[in-house]
Amino acid sequence: MSVSKPVEIPQNVLDRAPQINLSRRGILKGLAIGTVFPIVNGCVSLEQTDGFLANMSNNVWSELKQQSKLSTDKQLNNYVMGTWSRLVKGTPKAQEQWDVAIFDEDTVNAFVMPGNRVGVYRGITELSENSDQLSTVLGHEVGHSV
């Protein structure tokens, strides 16, 4: 599918955009949780954007998993993955491969990235009182990808 009219960002808009200095890790985390958005300058077709985003997502996901502490808590991992397994069965993407990572951080968040990658922070599991609440959070994230 291609876009009939290319999207162009006027230079004056780019000039007025705030300049934010982030570390490489800050940019990666921001991309992962959706608080930093890449700006593509010039004319880009949807096919080019999809390929660009898929490649960037793959790189960010790999680096995020390498640079962040992943949970080694078997009980926590089993809880999240058990909740995930029950939830994903009811989605249109049930037959697709998913990569779920549980990050050992206090952050109260979860996120989804292109390519069926889901990140869950320990902090959101501690705030959730039961698997129904956690599945609500995870279901919300899956909703972004369907």
Q: Measuring CA to CA, how many Å separate 58 from each of 5, 9, 42, 62, 89?
A: 28, 26, 23, 6, 24
Residue 95 per-residue DSSP state: T
Domain segments of the chain: what residues? 11-67, 74-143
pLDDT confidence of residue 85: 95
Q: What is the CATH number of domain 74-143?
A: 3.30.2010.10
22-31, 42-51, 104-113: which has the minimum mean pLDDT? 42-51
pLDDT in tens, 41-84: 334 333 445 567 777 888 889 999 999 999 999 999 999 999 99
10-14, 33-37, 119-123: which has the minimum mean pLDDT? 33-37
Position with higher pLDDT, 93 vs 47:
93
Position with higher pLDDT, 71 vs 38:
71
Question: d(Cα 74, Cα 135) in Å, to the nearest integer?
Answer: 19
Does the pTM exceed 0.85? no
